[in-house]
Amino acid sequence: MAFVYIPVQNSSEEVRVALDQLPRDATDILDILKAEQAPLNLWLTFAREYFKQGKINEFLLILREGSSPEIDEYYSDVKYDRIAILNALGAYYTNLGKVEQKQREKDEHFISATQFYNRASRIDQDEPTTWVGKGQLLLAKGDLDQSYEVFKIVLDGQPDNVPAVLGQACVQFNRGRFQEALNLYKRALQVHPRCPASVRLGLGLCRYRLGQMKKARQAFERVLKLDPENVEALVALGVMNINTNEPDGVREGLESMKAAYEIYPYCAMALNHLANHFFFTGQHYIVDQLMDAALAATDQSKIKAVSYYNLARSYHTKSDYTNAAVYYRASISELKDPREFILPYYGLGQVHLKLGDLRTSLSHFEKVLEIHPDNCETVKAIGIIYLQQGRTDKALENFKKATKQNPRDVDAWVELGELLVSTDFGQALEAFKTAHALLTKSEEPIPFGLLNNIGVLHFERSEMESALQAYRDALGEGIWVDFSEGRALSLGREGGLPISITAENSQFEHLEEEGLSLELPAEKVTVLFNLARLHEQQHETQKAVILYQLIIHKHPQYVDAYMRLAAMALARNDLASSQELVSKVLKVMETHADALSMRGSLELKADDWLKAKETYKSIQNTDGKDSYALLALGNWNYYAAVRGERKDPKLEATHLEKAKELYNKVLVQKPNNMYAANGIGIVLAEKGIFDLSKEVFTQVQEAAAGNVTVEMPDVWINLAHIYLAQGQFALAIKMYQNCLRRFYYNTESQVLLYLARTHYEAEQWQDCKRALLRAIHLAPSNYTLRFDAAIAMQKFSTATLQKPKRTADEVRQSVAELKNALRLFSQLSGVAASHGHGFDEKKIDMHVEYCKHLLDAAKVHLEAAEREEQQNRQKQEVARQLHQAEEARRKAEEERKQQMEKRFREEEARRLQREEEKLRHLMAGWNTKKGGGDNDDDDNGGEKKEKKEKKKRKKKEKKREQSSEPEEEGNYRSPTPEEEDAQDALAAAGLLEESDEEDMRREDPPPKKGRLRRALSESDDEDGSRRRRAVADEHLADSEAEMEYPKGLEDSDTEEQRPVSRRRGKKTRLSESDED
């Protein structure tokens, strides 16, 4: 036990004061000191002792008293002790200022400190300790340069003044000049080898900062040897150990921290590190306790910041974002500059992101980025914020940056890929593949979501093999492998009944009974669905069906599988199954928009118009935003407009308007909906505004061509219709042919019919016939096609026979074609009689008669032509002989040339001339002879035939009229949306949110047998109109052409003129041949 002895004045006695038993009230001591006039150093001793015991007030009381003016006066000669007291006070206030947070108080403390030092200097301005104190004050104020100078003053006088050396060392350390600081610490040690351990601590810290880890460690260890309980050294060593990042090191480091904690539970730094450790081991409650302790123990703002951060982080991981935000903010408020400690900013950014406060979040992340512009995580976080704000461009930019900064960041690649999906499949795929490659390289498991995305993108790009691989990788092992590879397509007890599209598949139950696992984890259903879609796309329908059925078997609520099966059944024309499947969906989900749409199109297909309309309307009612239903209703109105059952122009116009309105509505919702645009084009075309509609169609065609997942043959056909209507036959033909080949594998007889129609308009009869023959071959039961083919052949013959000049071959060909036409007509007549295909027997018979008649006429033509041909041959023969004779003569002449005289030659020439004249005469004779024959008509039977002919002509003209009517109507195939398609797959994969628009395909207009018959029974004319009606009929357009196509009518008007006059010429010819 230490004692202080106060000498009693004027005696040799002393008062003994035990240091650990200082009176609580310092006034007692002061009284003694004053009374005994004790030496000043004793005053200081007591003050120090109180300080050490944390009794700051007592400390201050003694020193204040000790530095009071009376003392100054009384002890005026005891300079050194007076200075020491003042310096002690100075040092105290310096320290107060140093730790004070608030600027005003801080300044006040520093001012007090300065005053004490100044007083000390007034007593003795050379006292080194005062200078050292001043230096430390400056150091605390952060005025490093001045501080350095002050210490220098001391050192200039006393080069070995250890405190000054240490002060300078400290300055240098704070200046970041660790080498200089190190040298100074070394000097201090040399001068004073028994320096307190803290000097060695400084040494160690310098070395640490200089990266001399080994020596730093030695220094710290030496400190600990000298002072085993030196907390700083323990913490420093601990930090060093933890930073080695090796398990052993970390453990040792934590040991050090724990030791430090045990020695001095208030060392906030150690607490922070420990908290950090417990945070990562997940013992959050310990973290909380430690941090509470740390916060109580320290005033160091930086350390407090760390403590608050640790607390916040602890709440953060517990998903208590509100509290986390509070503590992150507390942490930040401890900091003067984000540079000091950036993590809470990042944390706060994350928390706000979680809380949905994007703007605040963004501002915090941006602060992080200011200081660490290359921080990949932050760049990514900002990217996500932009994404949530819908600023896709900026988000994209950020993720691109992130991947550039850290090309090995899998998450960044995945995010980038997902961002790109909506705009650029190729780049998105690249991003996903990069992520895939990175994961593969590091041998990490690849999430099946990523594989699924890769698969979907390959699928979209029609890279089916790669897509298949990706899906299979994503799915892993399971029963589906067998299904997908086609090993087990027919299962069950019966030894191989194929799975049916609709049946409740007991096969699966059998399989399960047989002990086969059909386990299908919920998260893999989507991938499996995608795989099925892929097989479907590959036309491997059996595989697709079994996979869809498996999905339904295990997850009956997955209605998309039902929908696909229904679509597949529809594609196979299996309407009953399709209906059954759709009903199943609707039983589960009454308002499922896709299922209702499908039901609507099925009803249309079954010709149940009113029901279909009701169905579409019900979709509208349940889901006002379903653009598919809008579109379908638009189509419905269009069909209704051109359906022509009620030939009420007003009604038709109303329907067209309604259709247009609905299409426009779709376009407002989805400006990129090609089907609605196509619809608008159709309405425009129906109104005869061809230029505009052509523009619309062209744009739609371009848009469709740019999208690999969309197939829109309709728009090609519509464009071709426009070309046809405008008389650009070559273009129309090209367009129809391309469309046939590109979309239909040349199997669509309907388009062939359009093609034939175009050839017909272009008067290319043979091409027309060939197109029709193909169409018949594809659709042999469509008798209209046969009728059309017969008409084409009849037309060909008529046209050929009308030609002013034609060879016998041509006539022979037209005779052959007439025979074919006759054959077809006769057959049709027979069919009409026995089966009633909607043909009027009488009319066909009329055709038969006409063909027979024409055939008779043609026979005469043929004879004439053959005769003519014969004559021509003879003529040619004569000419040839003449030529030969002449040749021979010339040769002879040449032989005799030398002998013959000029005169003789002249004579010869004359003779030749005579000869030629004779020939000419002969030829003229032939001509007159022929003409004479024509004139030789007797009027006897002529009149009768004339009459007949007239009748025929009348009929023909009527036919012309009729036929010109329906001519121009385009039959715009209208877009009928199909069910969800590939988009579904995407949607299912979570890649797209809305997916209905692009995924629609046309469907054939519904059957209209009723109308066909009607149209035919209404027309009381013959061939042309029938034929055209037939064409028109398929398109629901009817003879209202004038109404729909003013321009078309114009065209047909002029058209009408031409053939009429031509026919007149033909009439004479026909009567001619009749008479012949």
Using CB under 8 A as the criterion, which residues of the chain lie in contact with another protein when the complex forms?
A: 486, 489-490, 496-498, 538-543, 571-576, 605-607, 744-747, 770, 773-774, 776-777, 779-784, 816, 819-820, 823-824, 826-831, 833-838, 1007-1009, 1012
Pairing verdict, β 14-18 and 3-7:
antiparallel
Tell the smallest beta-carbon distance from residue 878 to another protein (Å).
Answer: 35
- Identity of the residue, 71 or 771, whose beta carbon is nearer to another protein in the bound complex: 771
- Identity of the residue, 281 or 1017, whose beta carbon is nearer to another protein in the bound complex: 1017
Tell the smallest beta-carbon distance from residue 513 to another protein (Å).
Answer: 22
Tell the smallest beta-carbon distance from residue 550 to another protein (Å).
Answer: 17
- Identity of the residue, 212 or 538, whose beta carbon is nearer to another protein in the bound complex: 538
- Identity of the residue, 31 or 485, whose beta carbon is nearer to another protein in the bound complex: 485
Can you tell me the distance from the alpha carbon of 844 to that of 823, in angstroms, rounded to the nearest whole number? 11
Contacts of 237 (CB under 8 A, 6+ apart): 217, 220, 221, 224, 253, 256
Cα dihedral: 170, 174, 180, 183 (round 10):
30
- Identity of the residue, 679 or 1006, whose beta carbon is nearer to another protein in the bound complex: 1006
- Identity of the residue, 243 or 747, whose beta carbon is nearer to another protein in the bound complex: 747
Distances (CA, A) of 192 to 131, 163, 164, 189, 215: 20, 10, 13, 5, 20
- Identity of the residue, 576 or 878, whose beta carbon is nearer to another protein in the bound complex: 576
Tokens, residue 768: 């027309």
- Identity of the residue, 218 or 746, whose beta carbon is nearer to another protein in the bound complex: 746
Half-sphere exposure of 746 (CA within 13 A, CB side): 7
- Identity of the residue, 64 or 1013, whose beta carbon is nearer to another protein in the bound complex: 1013
- Identity of the residue, 442 or 573, whose beta carbon is nearer to another protein in the bound complex: 573
Tell the smallest beta-carbon distance from residue 491 to another protein (Å).
Answer: 12
Full DSSP string of 298-332? ---HHHHHHHHHHHHHHHHHTT-HHHHHHHHHHHH
CB 565 within 8 A of CB 548: yes
Tell the smallest beta-carbon distance from residue 440 to another protein (Å).
Answer: 31
CA gyration radius, the chain? 53
Full DSSP string of 875-901? HHHHHHHHHHHHHHHHHHHHHHTTTS-
Contacts of 636 (CB under 8 A, 6+ apart): 604, 609, 612, 613, 616, 659
Long-range contacts of residues 204-212, Cβ cutoff 8 Å, at least 24 apart? 204/233, 204/236, 205/173, 205/236, 206/169, 206/173, 206/178, 206/179, 206/181, 206/182, 207/182, 208/236, 208/240, 209/173, 209/178, 210/178, 210/179, 210/182
CB 303 within 8 A of CB 272: yes
Cα dihedral: 268, 273, 279, 285 (round 10):
-30
Can you tell me the distance from the alpha carbon of 587 to that of 604, in angstroms, rounded to the nearest whole number? 21
- Identity of the residue, 421 or 565, whose beta carbon is nearer to another protein in the bound complex: 565
Beta bridge partners of 498: 490
Beta bridge partners of 14: 7
Residue 609 corresponds to which amino acid?
W
Residue with tokens 């795929």, as numbered in its chain: 429
CB 339 within 8 A of CB 303: no
Tell the smallest beta-carbon distance from residue 659 to another protein (Å).
Answer: 23
Tell the smallest beta-carbon distance from residue 463 to another protein (Å).
Answer: 16
- Identity of the residue, 268 or 821, whose beta carbon is nearer to another protein in the bound complex: 821
Tell the smallest beta-carbon distance from residue 784 to another protein (Å).
Answer: 8
- Identity of the residue, 693 or 829, whose beta carbon is nearer to another protein in the bound complex: 829
- Identity of the residue, 727 or 1010, whose beta carbon is nearer to another protein in the bound complex: 1010
Tell the smallest beta-carbon distance from residue 989 to another protein (Å).
Answer: 24
CB 834 within 8 A of CB 840: no
Tokens, residue 276: 């950090």
Can you tell me the distance from the alpha carbon of 146 to that of 891, in angstroms, rounded to the nearest whole number? 136
Q: What is the DSSP letter of 522?
A: G
CA torsion sign for 640, 641, 643, 649 is: positive
- Identity of the residue, 115 or 746, whose beta carbon is nearer to another protein in the bound complex: 746
- Identity of the residue, 357 or 540, whose beta carbon is nearer to another protein in the bound complex: 540
Tell the smallest beta-carbon distance from residue 844 to another protein (Å).
Answer: 11
Tell the smallest beta-carbon distance from residue 873 to another protein (Å).
Answer: 25
Helices (H), 12-55: 26-36, 40-52
CB 941 within 8 A of CB 1003: no
Return the closest-CA partner of residue 332 out of 355, 353, 351, 309. Answer: 309
Tokens, residue 651: 């009604």
Estimate the crossing angle of helix 939-964 against helix 1023-1033, to 10 degrees.
20
Tell the smallest beta-carbon distance from residue 818 to another protein (Å).
Answer: 11
φ and ψ of 863, to 5 deg? -60, -45
Residue 508: alpha-carbon gap to chain centroid = 37
Question: Is residue 946 exposed (0-12), middle (13-18) or buried (19+ Cβ within 10 Å)?
Answer: middle
- Identity of the residue, 463 or 957, whose beta carbon is nearer to another protein in the bound complex: 463
Reduced to 3 states (helix: H, G, I; strand: E, B; else coil), residue 920 is helix
Tell the smallest beta-carbon distance from residue 1053 to another protein (Å).
Answer: 32
Tell the smallest beta-carbon distance from residue 657 to another protein (Å).
Answer: 29
Tell the smallest beta-carbon distance from residue 626 to another protein (Å).
Answer: 27
Tell the smallest beta-carbon distance from residue 835 to another protein (Å).
Answer: 5
φ and ψ of 821, to 5 deg? -60, -45
- Identity of the residue, 381 or 1012, whose beta carbon is nearer to another protein in the bound complex: 1012
Long-range contacts of residues 873-881, Cβ cutoff 8 Å, at least 24 apart? 875/923, 878/919
Tell the smallest beta-carbon distance from residue 547 to another protein (Å).
Answer: 13
Tell the smallest beta-carbon distance from residue 469 to another protein (Å).
Answer: 19
